[in-house]
């Protein structure tokens, strides 16, 4: 885990350099417990495939205070069980009445490739 400042109002917790189920589990855990602890001064928490970014108000919490809180979350996380991930299925339809313009878009793409 690496903590990196992002300007004066954000901090990023970087995990591994690859996208994997293990990295995802660490990101999910940090995101879950950071939301649960509601650190004063943190205005937004954004998870990605391999990191978690926290946006914060520096007049309410300093970089050093925030990194200290993050370290305490890491210690707590080692002993906790995460709830199962939530999977959302989004049905998608292409063509026919749902995509009458797809043939037009494909033709335009083909023309732009030829130029």
Q: Is 24 left (phi over 0), alpha (psi -120 to 50) or beta?
A: alpha
| Residue 100 included in any domain | no
Written as six digits, the tokens of 5 are: 């400042």
The number of domains in the chain is 1
Q: What is the pTM of this model?
A: 0.70
- pLDDT tens, position by position, 87-111: 888 887 766 777 666 666 667 665 5
Residues of the chain with pLDDT > 90: what percent?
Answer: 37
Q: Are 54 and 85 in contact (CB under 8 A)?
A: no
What CATH number does residue 19 fall under?
3.30.1360.40
The DSSP letter of residue 44 is: E
Residues of the domain holding 70: 2-77
| Residue 98 included in any domain | no
| Residue 47 included in any domain | yes
Separation of first and last alpha carbons in the chain: 47
How confident is the model at residue 22, as a pLDDT?
87
* CA–CA dist 73, 35 (Å, integer): 11
């Amino acid at each position: 885990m690496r903590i990196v400042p992002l300007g004066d109002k954000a901090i990023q917790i970087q995990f591994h350099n690859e996208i994997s189920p293990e990295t995802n589990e660490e990101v999910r855990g940090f995101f879950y417990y950071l939301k649960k602890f509601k650190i004063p001064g943190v205005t937004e928490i954004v998870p990605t495939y391999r990191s978690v970014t926290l946006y914060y108000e520096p007049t309410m919490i300093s970089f050093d205070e925030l990194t200290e809180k993050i370290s305490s979350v890491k210690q707590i996380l080692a002993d906790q069980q995460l709830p199962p991930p939530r999977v959302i299925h989004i049905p998608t339809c292409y063509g026919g009445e749902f995509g009458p313009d797809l043939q037009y878009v494909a033709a335009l793409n083909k023309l732009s490739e030829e130029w």
